[in-house]
Amino acid sequence: MRPLRLLALAAVVWALAVQAAPVPAGRTGQVVSVSERDFAAARLGRLGLDALMEKDGRVYLVVSADECAELARRGVPFADETQRLALAAVERVGAGGGVNGAFHSPYEMETDLRLLEEAHPDLARLSEIGRSLEGRPLYALKISDNATVDEHEPAVLFAGCHHAREWISVEVPFLFGKYLLERYASDATVRALVDASEIWIVPIANPDGLQYTIDVYRYWRKNRRANVDGTYGVDINRNYGYAWGFDDQGSSPHPGSDVYRGTAAFSEPETAAVRDLVQAHDIRAMISFHSFGQDILYAWGFTSEPAPSDAELGAIGRTMAGLIEAVNGTVYVPGQASRALYVTNGDLIDWAYSLAGAPSYTIELPPVDIDHGGFFNDETAIAAVFEENRPAMLYLVRYAIDHPLLRRPLSPVRRERSVLSQTRKPKLVLRQP
């Protein structure tokens, strides 16, 4: 076994061993599971716990020492799953070198984006759209036939890594950009799409959090905001402006929660950068990639009421699901986010859709559950996950070109508690996108 391989294994084992040990108050530390019945009876869904998934009658949570104590105080029996998941994670460490293997760090992504721009100067333009809290650049790669010229063409955005631990969400949008640039000269379909549109790739919306998952703690989710109570992080996918803070079920007002929404809409520089990019262009469609779960989700997330163009959103989602399944047989389930998964508010997709009704989707990438890897994708699966998503991404670009947006921005919603969200039981409760 090569030294880099040994180093990667040792680093992952160490990081997960730390998770299993007692941790300081307020820090996320271990993975536990509780029964669905106990989860519901103790009303744990109201605590803003970091939920991974629901499987075989049990709910899996990443918890801190304080949260473990709260479970005990409420008399909720739980099983420590950390060691089992640690062993599964070690089995998935590949030979790409370093702790993150073939997955990109923020610096590695910057290098590869610059190489793409240099190799395709007429088709690619790399822009710094903002800076993170820790000063890391936030990059957007524009792909078009005249990339350095603003031709006011229909635009489509593909974004990744709002949540730091979702490493596969970085790779799919990046590989799509690489595919378009490398196939432009030889593939008539690709050339037609690139000539008629602007395709924007933002592979890492949360570079500080991503670097933290590599250096310190693999399960970290939020950005690295230093909160007033001594905790860290805002969930930037609860920090967008439409229905921000609508209720405390779709996001949390508590800084220690992994779905903490921040002090105000767009309080975080990461979301402000994406906002400014979207508002500066004619964005007609969007995909925000996440993991894990194999879902295709669309507005609304903040309420179970259907969106104004629910039928259109559903039809596009079903088409994309069919195109994905045709590649490798992988089933992605389309549906309205609040009904198919659970309630969210202040997320990118609701906000983007609210601007002009642009078809906007969260795609939860494989695997389907923890036992198949969870956030620890096998790096050898990166290419396969991209390949199965590629036809759906191409289709959405074509759809955006062919369908102008004629709708006005939707009216803002007031912050209030959603009666529907309190009474509805979602099909799947967890796996926060």
Residues acting as catalytic residues: 364
Cα first-last separation, the chain: 36
Q: How far, in Å, CA of 28 to CA of 178, rounded?
A: 35
Inter-CA distances, 385 with 212, 257, 322, 335, Å: 24, 30, 15, 20
With beta carbons less than 8 A apart as the criterion, state whether 347 and 240 touch: yes
Helix residue ranges per DSSP H, 120-262: 168-183, 188-196, 207-215
Paired tokens of 95: 């030979």
To the nearest 10 degrees (0 to 180), the angle between helices 382-402 and 188-196 is: 50
To the nearest 10 degrees (0 to 180), the angle between helices 269-279 and 348-356 is: 30
- For 108, phi then psi, to 5°, come to -65, -35
Paired tokens of 276: 């400014």
Q: Whose structure tokens read 């918890």?
A: 63
Helix residue ranges per DSSP H, 44-155: 65-73, 82-91, 106-119
Q: How far, in Å, CA of 188 to CA of 21, rounded?
A: 55
Q: How far, in Å, CA of 359 to CA of 38, rounded?
A: 38
- Bridge partners (DSSP) listed for residue 285: 156
Residue 341: name the closest of 426, 255, 433 by CA: 426
DSSP 3-state assignment of 245?
coil
DSSP designation for 381: G
Q: Which residues contact 370 (CB under 8 A, 6 or more apart)?
A: 52, 53, 55, 60, 85, 88
Q: How far, in Å, CA of 20 to CA of 41, rounded?
A: 26
- For 181, phi then psi, to 5°, come to -70, -40
